A and B are shown apart, each in its own frame.
Chain A
Amino acid sequence: VKSLFGARGPALLLDSKHKTWLVVTIVVGGISWGVYAVWDAGTPGGSTGGSRIGLLYGLLGAGCMVFAGLLSALRRFPRWGMLGSRQWWLRGHIWLGLLSVLFIFCHANYRFGGPIEIALWLVLALTVLSGGFGLLMQHVLPRLLGTQIDNEVPFEQIPHVCLELLRKSDKLVELLCGQEYAPTEGLPAGKRQLRAYYEEQLRPALAAKGRSADTLILSGMNVAAKIKQLGQLPGLEASGKELADLESNCKKRRALVEQERLHAWLHGWLFVHIPLSAALLVLGMVHVVSALYF
């Protein structure tokens, strides 16, 4: 846990700048719920989504959702930055998105409703949960990336860096054992074994795309033990530096696999959150049109 959050706790995404939003959300949510509960208790048979207050809360909930959805638009249209900073919109996205659940909860009078409404509830719940999960990931993983990954590179650079590592490793082995596919007869046993080890195990792992690289082969203990063993064989006694570089390349490649894995958690939730938001938009429109018509 200490490694995750550090001795002084995590580098918070939900930092003190969220305090105002938190307070406003709690106060507005509490008052809204209180007002609705009183109104509902005073309404014979309970309020409905189609009643005046139900419609009002539905409108508020939809407004909060639209605001939350505009975060994506803001990224596409940077000129909208004059309406507020990205951080401000992100905070609004988080807290108003949460508040929208409360408004919709009241709008529905704590009921699930018909098929469209049940689908809406399901999609809304999954959207909020995936958002919450994403928030947690964004909260924890950047810190973890900083502490666990030594040679962190920009995410978009990873394929390029992987190729670079492969190229460097190829060059090292070529330097030590001759060109690829060249006959190995006559080479010292150490170089022959290095060539075989590299071509059969290390190179496929280094050449694998993205996270598919075999981290077991690239694991520090395996590579270090093997290279130490190879270094003692005839022909490689004086190649300690080159072998150390090869071991370092494997270590870096392994770190990149780990970085990609963490990145997948860091951004993968968006593959759920954003499409569900789109589904929410469609179902919400259907609900609004059908409910207001009937």
Chain B
Amino acid sequence: MVEEKSLADRLDIDYVRRPSRLRPWRWRVTLGVFGLTILAWAVGHLWPGKRLYQAGPVSAPHAWFNEDCARCHDRPGRTGLRLFLGDEIRAVSDQACTSCHQGPAHNHKQATQPACATCHREHTRSTSLVRVANEHCTSCHRNLEANVLSDGTPSFHNCVTDFAHNHPEFGLWRSVGVKDPGTIRFNHAVHLVEEGVYTSTRVEPGVERVRRKLDCQSCHERDATGRYMQPIRYEKHCAECHLLSVQLTGLPADSEARRLGEAFANEPAPHQPPPVVRAVLRDRLLQQFAAYGREKLGWQPLPDDAPVPPGQRHPPVVSKHQADWVHAQLVEVERVLFNLDGGCRYCHAYEEKRIEGLPQVKAARINERELPLVGVTSRWLPHSRFSHETHRTFDCLLCHEHTKSSKETSDALLPRVETCQQCHQPAANVRSDCVLCHTYHPGGAKHAYLGTLSRVDRTACPQAMIARLNDSKR
């Protein structure tokens, strides 16, 4: 119980006039913290570097001028205006970006052209400035018809919001009857048989030729970027098995003629247009059989002052006898090479019209793709990009699944979208964002080297860049 009387006795009634015991100390501590905070800010402000004010570090390519905020922030003080005028007000103008970067327009039918900084956001700790969020793309592509110019009709699928769920089938497969326009007769199934294909090599005469098991990499090689496959070349990929050798017939029965005939047969004809093949073989016949012809076939060399035949500018280099013999051999050789199924026609198709008796080989169109709305391109999926290098650990047949059963050149052996979607989806924790495959700005001419950065502030450089700079100096 409170003893009221004793309390009244002992109370100091003047205590209200004295300052509070705690309040002065509270003020001192508050003022101290206030001052310390200002001091900390002042030290941070004067400290080299502007990172104090950055919501996140600038991306690596821009780290060179990290200290020079005004290089990008060329319209300072405008941020607050966004509250009243909208998010279009920016402290970084497009000109600040385009002074170094090209950034051509996305599409001529595009209704609105966003500012650079709308998609490319700095200071976000993102690994890449070009790795923009899907929503930047789908804000238009979820309803493309509403986002093209009034007189434009969208050339692409009207609604795409997400790769994993509603990305349309690749244009290649959406168009009916798209075929590989290549004219080379090629059968993947035959080339990929388990027991391998015959090569032109024999261990010894009369024995079956050596077999070699082919896989995709035997012919398809990645280009320097690792993204796409280089075109198939006869000399590199076909010649080992498909030699253009031809045997001479009707030669004299002596051993020297047989030896020369074998030498001719062992040297394949060039993989060139028929007129070139004809010329090369004619020269080869003349040279290889010159000595034999003079000795056994009675070929006489022409005198140096042989008369120029009418209508020609130079004197003949071979006699008529010699020319007739070579011509007779060439007729048979050309018949085998150009007309029989085992010759050029084994792979090539001919035009209907012949010139000077020689077939015209149709253009191979090996690296050509013909797509509706696109025309002729070098790639099946020209609106996207792909890296074979990134996918090198996978079996090719995982994506190009019908290759082993393909018998026609016209078979387009590209995967369908669901093949990609099996892996590229958030559930599998594999990237499926738009910019993984698509680029917004069309490729084109690059800026010339500007060379405006005259000084490198090393305090701003990431260590890796400094190391690279030092390496280049060494």
Contact = CB atoms under 8 A, between A and B. Distances in A.
B12 A45 contact: no
Given A156-B18, A294-B79, A275 B136 contact: no
B133 interface: yes
Q: How large is the interface on A (under 10, 10 to 19, 20 to 34, 35 or more residues)?
A: 35 or more
B53 A271 contact: no
Contacts of B134: 44
Contacts of A160: 10-12, 15
A63 to B, nearest CB: 13
Interface in B131-176: 132-136, 138-139
Interface stretch (B25-33, B219-227, B228-236, B283-291): B25-33
B63 to A, nearest CB: 15
Interface in A76-124: 111, 113-117
A108 to B, nearest CB: 9
Interface stretch (B1-9, B208-216, B331-339, B458-466): B1-9
A45 B33 contact: no
A156 B16 CA distance: 8
Nearest to B139: A44
Contacts of B79: 50, 55, 291-294
Q: Which of A42, A50, A115 has the most CB of B within 10 A?
A: A50
A274 interface: yes
Nearest to B136: A44
Main secondary structure of the interface of B (DSSP, over half): helix
A28 B80 CA distance: 25
Interface string A144-163: 00000011111111011100
Given A44-B135, A292-B79, A275 B2 contact: no
Nearest to B36: A279
B91 interface: yes
A72 to B, nearest CB: 10
Given A151-B7, A270-B26, A294-B79, A115 B44 contact: yes
B315 interface: no
B119 interface: yes
A190 interface: no
A294 B53 contact: yes
A46 interface: yes
B54 A114 contact: yes
Interface in B268-296: none
Contacts of A151: 2-3, 7
B118 interface: yes
B20 interface: yes
Interface string A247-268: 0000000000000000000010
A45 B18 contact: no
B375 interface: no
A25 B79 CA distance: 29
Interface residues on B, range: 35 or more
B305 interface: no
B183 to A, nearest CB: 46
A275 B29 contact: yes
Contacts of A116: 44, 52-53
B87 interface: yes
A123 B11 CA distance: 41
A22 interface: no
Interface string B45-84: 0000001111110000000000001000100110110110
Contacts of B86: 52
A266 B374 CA distance: 77
Interface string A268-286: 0011001110110111001
A74 interface: no
Nearest to A53: B87
Contacts of A56: 83
Contacts of A59: 83
Nearest to B34: A278
Given A114-B51, A291-B53, A291-B79, 11 more contacts: A45-B119, A50-B79, A52-B82, A154-B15, A159-B21, A165-B10, A271-B29, A275-B32, A282-B34, A292-B77, A294-B91
Interface of B: 1-3, 7, 10-12, 15-16, 18, 20-22, 25-26, 29-34, 36-38, 41, 44, 51-56, 69, 73, 76-77, 79-80, 82-83, 86-87, 91, 118-119, 121, 123, 132-136, 138-139
Closest 5 CB pairs of A and B: A44-B135, A275-B33, A45-B133, A44-B136, A278-B34
